[in-house]
Structure 1
Amino acid sequence: MSQELKIDSNECKLLFADPIQSESAGILLRSRLQASGRRMGFSDVRRENMVLVASEMVTNLIKHAGGKGMIQVWQQPGPALDIISFDFGPGVDDLALAQQDGYSTSKTLGKGLGSMQRLSDEFGIYTQQEKDAKHGRWHGTALWTRFYLNKHNSAGSAGLNMPAVAQSGFEIGVFSRALNDDRFNGDKIYLQQHGAKLRLLHLDGLGHGEIAQRVTSNLGCYLSVEGLDKLLAAVDHHLTTGERGAVAIAAEFDLSKKNLNVLGVGDMSAYVYIHDSINNLSFAPGILGREHKTPTATQLVFEKKTLFITASDGIRRGWDKDSFPRLFNQHPQLIAYVLGNVMPRVTDDQSICVIRLN
C-alpha cells in the first residue's frame, strides 16, 4: 500500500465535451485526444489505443442512441486520462450479453465493448432503461475508460507499475466542473493519505468565478492538522481575512480501525451507502470564515462495501439508490461521472468525491 497519496481537484480537468451526432464529430475528438495524450506524455501506442476506444464510442452513440449523447475527455489525478461516453438512448436490455464479443443487435452495444475493455486500464459501464428511469430523470448508457500514464507492462501480464491512486487501498472518484466550464472553479477537493489514514477536505467557496477559486485555493496544507475539529477551525481562521467565506466537509478514514469520521459546516451534501441503503449526513449551519454553529462529528463503521459521497450544492439533491439502480456497485469514478452529468445545477460550480475501500 502507498504510504502517501495527495490529490488536488485542480488535477481534474475537462478537456473535451461535445455532442456526437455523426461520424464527422469524431474527427475533432480524435485530434483532441492525440494532442492531450501527447501533452500528458503518453506514448504513440497508448494514444492510438485511446483513438480506437473513442472511435468505438462514436459508432455506438450513432448506431444505438441515434446520436443523442456526448463524449467527454478528462484529465484526472494519477495522472490519468478518462474517456466518457454518455448517451440518452434506450439503454441496454441484457448488459452481460452485450459485452460478449461477436454479439450485436440493434438493441445492444455490440462487440466493441470487449475491445474497449482490453485497450484501457480501467473500464466501467452503467445503463438504465427508459422504463426504469425514476421521475423521467435519465435513461441511456454511460461508458468509462481510463488510461494511466504511469502504468506499464514489462512482461506480459506481470510487472504492472500502478500509480499511487491505484495502490492507496481506496477506490476514488473525483468530479469537478466549473460553471459554464469557466477557467475558475470555486469548488475544491483535497485528499491526502499517510499510511492507513486518508483525509478529505471538500470545499465550496461562496459564489463562483475567480474570487471563489482564490478563497478555496492553498487550503490542502490544513489536512495535516491533528483532529478534524482543529482542521476546520484552522480553515475557518484562514478564511476570516479572505474576500469570501466557504462551506466545507472534512473526513478521515482509518483503515486500521475501520472507521470514518465526518465533520462539516454549511450547505453541502454527504451520503453513506452501506447495506444497500443510503443515509444522508447533516452539518452545522453557517459559513466558515464568517458565522457558523459549532460542528459535531459523526463516526461510522467503514466496511469494505461502504461508499462515501460528498457533493457541493452545485449537485442537485433529491436522488437515492432507487433513482439509479445498481449504480452504487460501480467504480467510484463512474458513479461521480453519472451523478455529475445527470444531477448538476446550471447556476453554480459542481463537484463530487466518491470513496470506497479497494
Structure 2
Amino acid sequence: MEVTAGWTHRAFPMEDASRVGEARRHAAQLAAGMGWSELDAGRLALVITELGTNLQRHAHQGRLLIAARPQASEVEILGIDEGPGIPDIALAMRDGHSSGSTPGTGLGAVKRVADAFEIHSTMPEGTVSVARVRAAGSRRETVRPGPGSILIGAVCLPAPGETVSGDAWAAAATDADCNAVLLADGLGHGPEAAKASLAATASFAQAPAAELHATLERVHQALQTTRGGAVCVARVDAAASTLTFTGAGNISGRIVSGVFDKAFITQHGTAGIRIRKPEVTSAELPPHAVVILHSDGIETRWSAERIRPLLQRDPTLVACVLLRDHTRHRDDATVVVLRRKE
C-alpha cells in the first residue's frame, strides 16, 4: 500500500520582478533534484514566469506557493492574491489579452504548457490558481495519492520566518474507495515542532489501514520522545458515504456541501504527552461534499460560502481560498481537502 507524504510549500511574495526570478531558481533546483530533462525544466520555468509576472504587475498581495511532489515527479505552483479579481476569465485566457488593472497576459500559455491548470476568481476578493508540471512520461493522477476514488488537495506553509513547517500530513488509499489521512501539528513551530509532526506521519505510514483508534494510540507512543502535538486521523469511504475520525488537540474539521455544513472536533489532549482513550466518531457524507482538515494556523470560524462554488473542482483551490482568507499569519498553516471523484 503506497503512502503519500504530504508536501510543504515555499512562499514567494511577488513584491517586485526579482522575486519572479527567485521563484524560478527555486523551482529549477526542485526539478534538478528529481532528475528532470531540460525540456521539462523549461516548461516549469515558463509557468512560474507567466504566473509570477501577472501577480507582480497586476495583483494585490500576490504570491506564488511552490512545492515538489517527488512521488509524482511533479511540481505544484499555486497563485494567490487579494484582488482585484478577474472579471472575465475566458477573455483573460486568450493569448495576447492584457489589462492595466487585471491579470491576463500569459494565462493561456500556462494552460497550454502545464499538465494541469485551474483558476478561480471573484471580485474584489481576488484570484487563486493551481498549476502542475510533471516530468514527461509520468502518468500519475495529480490530485490523488494512489488508486481510488478520493481526490486530495492541500496547502502547507511554515510559520513566518521559518524554513520548515511544524505541521505535516500523509494520506493513503486503503482500498479502491477509501482513503485514510493524518494531519499533525507539532507544538510551537520550527524544527522541533517538525520533528513531532514528522514522527506522527511516519507512525501513520507503518499501518495506514489500521483501525483509527489504534493509529492514534501508536502515534501517541511515537511522539513521546518529542515535544508532542495535535493529531487528527480520518478515513473517507466513498462507497459508504461516510467519514470516520479521531484525534487529540486543536485540529479542526468540517464537512461542507452545497446545503450542508458541519464541524467535527477531536478530543482534548496532546499526542505524546497526554490523551484520553481514543473515541472514533462517524458522520455521513452528503452528495458532493468535501472534507476539510486544518491546523490552528487557520481560523476556526469561517464561512463556507466562498468555497461552495469550488466543491466540484480541484480541491486545492478550496485550500487556497481558506488559506488566503483565514490564515492567522503567525503560525504554521495547513489545509487538507478531500472529496469523492464524481
Match of 1:157 in 2: none
Where do 1:107-256 residues align within 5 Å?
Answer: 107-110=101-104, 112-130=106-124, 139-149=125-135, 151-152=137-138, 160=139, 162=141, 165=145, 167-180=147-160, 182-196=162-176, 197-216=178-197, 217=199, 218-224=202-208, 226-239=210-223, 241-256=224-239
Aligned AA (2:12): A
Which of 54, 57, 74 is residue 60 of structure 1 equivalent to? Answer: 54
Equivalenced residues, count: 335
Return closer, same or farther for 1:73/1:280 CA change in 2, 3 Å cut-off.
Answer: same
Which of 5, 11, 17 is residue 12 of structure 2 equivalent to? Answer: 17
In the aligned structure 1, how far is the partner of 2:19 from the partner of 2:165? 28
Q: Summarize deviations over 1:257-314 as a string: whole Å, max 9, x none.
A: 3322122222110011123432211222222233344443332334662211101112
User: Shift in Å at residue 338 of structure 1?
Assistant: 3.2
In the aligned structure 2, how far is the partner of 1:150 from the partner of 1:209? 35
Return closer, same or farther for 1:33/1:256 CA change in 2, 3 Å cut-off.
Answer: same
DSSP 3-state at the match of 2:327 = coil
Match of 1:263 in 2: 246
DSSP 3-state at the match of 1:215 = helix
User: Shift in Å at residue 339 of structure 1?
Assistant: 2.4
Q: What is the TM-score of this pair, normalised by structure 2?
A: 0.85
Which stretch of the first structure deviates more once superposed, 44-53 or 336-345?
336-345
User: Shift in Å at residue 74 of structure 1?
Assistant: 1.7
Match of 2:2 in 1: 5
Q: Rg bigger for which structure?
A: 1
Match of 2:340 in 1: 357
Structure 2 residue runs without a partner (length 5+) = none
Q: What is the TM-score of this pair, normalised by structure 1?
A: 0.82
For the aligned residue pairs, the C-alpha RMSD in angstroms reads: 2.8
In the aligned structure 2, how far is the partner of 1:107 from the partner of 1:329? 29
Match of 1:156 in 2: none
Matched, 1:42 2:44: no
Return closer, same or farther for 1:254/1:143 CA change in 2, 3 Å cut-off.
Answer: closer
Question: Does the Cα contact within 8 Å between 1:79 and 1:150 map onto a contact in 2?
Answer: no
Aligned AA (1:120): A
Structure 1 residue runs without a partner (length 5+) = 131-138, 153-159
In the aligned structure 1, how far is the partner of 2:2 from the partner of 2:339? 15
Question: Does the Cα contact within 8 Å between 1:125 and 1:142 map onto a contact in 2?
Answer: yes
Aligned AA (1:207): G
DSSP 3-state at the match of 2:274 = coil
User: Shift in Å at residue 251 of structure 1?
Assistant: 0.9
